[in-house]
């Protein structure tokens, strides 16, 4: 009996040793594989293995920083499309506000224009599938219109004044996606260029816009980066180099596991003498902050607006063979003065990070510059004039412009949210397109001479009532001037091109007006730069 007990004890000890050894050898990678195997083999319901792995990857990345992310093959295509500069499709700008695809514009020289599709046409069917009146989502519509270059899509079109449907066979082709939203002369000597994102073709688009504006007499330049969430680092680098001297540092990166990079201007820029103002707000991020930070650190531009988003983390794409991709944060970027502009974050707490803009609003930062406080440890100086600048949370502008909410009312919110504004514009343009084009041949003519009449505003009120927006006279009067300008801007966009919207809508933008004031005041401009 004694020997039997000893034998059992030995077995228990041996078993414990094996288990301890096995536990020691269970790497995180194997543990993940075991977990997947257990779920696949024993879960009560059928499991989609692809979905399981996708969600596991997302969960892992969510424990890191707010910008490391995973995307499925379809999501990856959608993410890359605006940055690559083109996609294959039929070449139209459309609106689905009335539950019918309404053609706003055709891309010049694009597939739809070539076959005779016109602004104002309504696409009823795509490849024998009814898309009108069925509450189809925009993404679903685009999925039907886009496709490989050279393939054919058949559409049935309803045209005003034509009783029967018109049928078109459209051969899909490459459609350019532009990142320069607007370029025009703000006054006789000041050019204005708005950039929505930093894409592969942005530098070339920007150079073209610059050349066109110079021919019109541009001496000084406003670069509008409001709401620009970033894009390709190289694109921002190329734009910055146009305003700096050879050898000037633009941005550098530092990382513990990947090589560090330094980006400098490789030659003298083409625009070294004129005054530059960069417009930013709380949604200007990443590559926008690189451009604004580089020009600020070299005392080459006055930054006007509100503190930028604060994204100073660099993501490297790691594609999978199936087209999915991990965008992993591999380094931090720094402005020439040494500032890391990444705002603080708690690993795994993405919700708090997303809510940061709301926190700024609640703290009064968007209305009052003195509500922003930086510790001395984040204090830096510009390279030429030794002005004080701060890191650790976005680019702080040289001239602050507060957020204006005096025009905002629940009435305007509902007019916008329920689609009444866009529906009315579509109907108005549909009825008056030819008349407006004849009376105002160019967008400049329209901007200078077209007036939003009381009849037009009454039409908007009635459209609001049709969409269950209750008329409130007091709130209407408070928002009236704002709505007039937005209406005019939307009409211009639908008749001419996207850039027409900003030529008119900028009248409502305090940051734009502050930037124009600074650039046209040489003494104030020099003072802000520390000259």
* Catalytic sites, residue numbers: 286, 311, 315
**Residue 262: closest CA among 270, 253, 273, 275:** 253
How many other CB atoms sit within 10 Å of the CB of residue 29?
8
Strand-pair category, 173-176 with 86-89: antiparallel
CB 193 within 8 A of CB 250: no
CA gap 136, 140 in Å, rounded: 7
**Residue 479: closest CA among 495, 501, 464, 496:** 464
CA dihedral 83, 89, 91, 93 (to 10 degrees): -70
Measure the CA angle with vertex 289, ends 67 and 266; round to 5°.
115
How many other CB atoms sit within 10 Å of the CB of residue 256?
7
Length, in residues, of the chain: 531
Report the b/e string of 358-393 with b at 16+ CB within 10 A: eebeeeebbeebeebeeeeeeebebbeeebebbbbb
Q: Output DSSP code: residue 66.
A: T
Q: 433 burial class (0-12, 13-18, 19+ CB within 10 angstroms)?
A: middle
CA gap 134, 100 in Å, rounded: 9
Integer distance in angstroms from the first to the last C-alpha of the chain? 98
């Amino acid at each position: 009996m004694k020997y039997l007990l000893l034998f059992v004890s030995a077995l228990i000890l041996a078993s414990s040793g094996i288990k301890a050894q096995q536990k020691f050898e269970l790497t995180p990678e194997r543990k993940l594989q075991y977990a997947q195997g257990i779920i696949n083999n024993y879960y009560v319901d059928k499991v989609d293995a692809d979905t399981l792995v996708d969600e596991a990857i997302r969960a892992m990345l969510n424990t890191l920083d707010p910008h490391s992310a995973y995307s499925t093959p379809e999501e990856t295509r959608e993410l890359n499309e605006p940055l690559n500069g083109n996609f294959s499709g039929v070449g139209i700008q459309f609106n689905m506000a009335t539950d019918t695809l309404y053609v706003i514009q055709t891309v010049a020289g694009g597939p739809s224009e070539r076959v005779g599709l016109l602004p104002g046409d309504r696409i009823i069917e795509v490849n024998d599938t009814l898309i009108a009146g069925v509450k189809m989502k925009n993404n679903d519509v685009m999925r039907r219109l886009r496709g490989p270059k050279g393939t054919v899509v058949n559409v049935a079109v309803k045209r005003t004044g034509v009783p029967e449907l018109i049928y078109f066979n459209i051969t899909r082709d490459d459609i350019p996606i532009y990142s320069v939203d607007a370029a025009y002369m703000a006054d006789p000597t000041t050019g204005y260029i708005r950039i929505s994102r930093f894409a592969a073709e942005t530098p070339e688009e920007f150079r073209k816009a610059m050349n066109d504006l110079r021919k019109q007499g541009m001496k000084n330049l406003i670069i509008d980066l409001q709401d620009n969430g970033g894009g390709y680092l190289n694109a921002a680098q190329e734009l910055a180099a146009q305003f700096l001297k050879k050898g000037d540092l633009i941005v550098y990166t530092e990382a513990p596991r990947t090589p560090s990079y330094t980006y400098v201007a490789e030659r003298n820029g083409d625009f070294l003498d004129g005054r530059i103002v960069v417009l930013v707000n709380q949604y200007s991020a990443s590559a926008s902050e690189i451009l604004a930070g580089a020009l600020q650190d070299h005392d080459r531009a006055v930054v006007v607006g509100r503190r930028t988003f604060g994204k100073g983390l660099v993501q490297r794409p790691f594609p999978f063979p199936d087209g999915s991709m991990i965008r992993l944060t591999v380094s931090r970027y720094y402005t020439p003065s040494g500032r890391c502009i990444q705002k603080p974050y708690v690993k795994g707490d993405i919700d708090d990070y997303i809510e940061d803009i709301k926190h700024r609003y609640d703290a009064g930062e968007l209305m009052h510059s003195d509500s922003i406080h930086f510790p001395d440890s984040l204090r830096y100086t510009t390279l030429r004039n030794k002005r004080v600048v701060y890191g650790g949370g976005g680019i702080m502008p040289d001239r602050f412009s507060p957020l204006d909410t005096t025009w905002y009312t629940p009435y305007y919110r509902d007019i916008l949210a329920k689609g009444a504004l866009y529906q009315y514009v579509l109907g108005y343009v549909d009825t008056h397109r030819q008349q407006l084009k004849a009376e105002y041949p160019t967008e400049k003519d329209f901007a200078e001479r077209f007036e939003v009449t009381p009849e037009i505003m009454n039409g908007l009120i009635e459209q609001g009532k049709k969409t269950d927006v209750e008329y409130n006279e007091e709130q209407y009067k408070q928002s009236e001037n704002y709505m007039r300008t937005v209406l005019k801007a939307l009409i211009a966009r639908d008749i001419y091109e996207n850039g027409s919207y900003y030529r008119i809508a900028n009248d409502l933008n305090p940051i734009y007006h502050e930037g124009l004031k600074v650039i046209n005041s040489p003494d104030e401009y020099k003072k802000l730069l520390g000259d």
